[in-house]
Amino acid sequence: MAVQKITKRVVDTVAVGIIRDSEVKGFLLIVSKGGHKSYSIEYRVGNGRGAPKRRYSIGTHGSPWTPDQARAQAKRLLALVAQGTDPLASRYAHLREMTIADLCEHYLDEGTAHKKPSTLRGDKSRIKHYLIPRLGSRPITSVVRADVERLVRDITHLPATVQAKKAKDDVIGGPGAAFQCLAVLGAVYSFAVRRGLIQLNPTSGVKKPKIKKMERFLSEQEISALWQALRDEEISSGTPHLTAAIKLLLLTGCRKGEILDLFWKEVDFDNRCLRLRDSKTGAKIIYLNNEALEVLRKLPRLEDNPYVIIGPRIQSGHAAIDGVWHRVRKNAGLSDVRLHDLRHSFASIAIKNGLSLPIVGALLGHKHPATTMRYAHLAADTLRTAVDAIGVNVVRDLGSV
């Protein structure tokens, strides 16, 4: 934790972490991995260094909280602490009957500093489109397990064509969506339990929906059709960036966010790799084949733009790639293929070329070996092919069985 005076310049430049104010002891600036910036105070309840330490959130940086206003509020709150008042206890006494909508806002403000930007985006979307419309007005203490089970059941059977009100996104139902919403609601209530707002988490014991693992592998003919569709899309669009992103997903086995959030400074041409500062599983190295290197070398760079993949609004391509992928897969006759299936196809090709499961797991950046075991059946096929070849050679040498 750095110690310096918290000023607007500091707030604007700090990337992630906690800054302790050098003027007011206990005044903090907290910047999450997702870029969320907020002000807090840290203090101890009672006397002595062994007293429990607490953290009270003043608010998010921006209107109305500037560094000076937040520092003044910190001084006022710390003065109350010196007089024996616990600001956190006072707040929770007031918020104990807050609604689910209030709790979700409180959670996003104070309980997500450890989450990665992509995870936080998903949480915010599920809270906005699923949890708030169905439970938002309910007091947090009124929700019981039966309510959560009803929520899971409703989302599981929600038609995929229902449109979110005042939103461009489709609210997609099904077991997968229900599973994710249950996880987010559980995290929100776990936060409430930790903060002493409630005693029990109503999501505990709720049966998780069974999710069918979708694994689609492209054949050689399908890859050829996809590559031609990508060439056609690049010609018609006049820009190579988004089609290059799709090519890189197949050539590297990366996750979508790893390519769309890639910076040029993370591309190491000399050592033929990507040096990712962060990913779903933390910092890692992605090794590049000649074809992936060629795709990267051909991409034009824009001055003052650090991203490798640039969208139509001169930023990363997150907002645009889904539309391009929809056109490309339709033109290639691959309407059932998802972008993530390109990662599965990369693994499939690797295994068919004789690479072991541990090597494939390392290439994909799997944190746990068990994750790679989903491809075990492909490895079995490769072993069968190898053992059949051995049998043919044995019989050929012996003349007959």
Residues 366, 254: Cα–Cα separation, whole Å: 11
Distances (CA, A) of 214 to 45, 217, 268, 367: 51, 10, 33, 20
The one-digit pLDDT tens for each residue of the chain (401 residues) are 689 999 999 998 988 889 999 999 999 999 887 777 889 999 987 766 667 788 888 888 887 899 999 999 999 999 999 888 888 777 766 666 789 999 998 898 888 877 777 788 889 999 999 999 999 999 998 999 999 999 999 999 886 544 433 344 456 788 888 999 999 999 999 998 887 788 889 999 999 988 776 678 888 899 999 999 999 999 998 889 999 999 999 999 888 989 998 999 999 999 999 998 877 767 888 889 999 999 999 999 888 888 999 877 656 667 688 889 999 999 999 988 999 889 888 888 887 777 777 877 777 777 767 667 667 666 666 656 666 666 666 666 555 55
Structural domains present in the chain: 2-91 (3.30.160.390), 100-194 (1.10.150), 220-340 (1.10.443.10)
**CA-based nearest residue to 110, from 181, 58, 75:** 58
The helices-and-strands tally (H runs, E runs) of the chain is 17, 8
Each residue's pLDDT tens digit, 41-100: 999 877 666 677 888 888 888 878 999 999 999 999 999 998 888 887 777 666 667 899
Q: Is the pTM of this model over 0.75?
A: no
Res 383: pLDDT? 58
CA 154 from chain center: how many Å? 25
Give the type of residue at 216: R
Q: CA 278 to CA 272: how far, in whole Å?
A: 18
d(CA 152, CA 149): 5
Q: What's the pLDDT at 392?
A: 63
At 10-22, the pLDDT tens digits run 998 988 889 999 9
User: Using CA atoms, how far apart are residues 282 and 268, in angstroms rounded to an integer?
Assistant: 18
**249 contacts: CB under 8 Å, gap ≥ 6:** 256, 259, 339, 342, 343, 346
pLDDT of residue 165: 38
Distance CA 290, CA 155 (A): 45
Type of residue numbered 381: D
| pLDDT of amino acid 169 | 46
How far is the C-alpha of 122 from the C-alpha of 133, rounded, in Å? 16
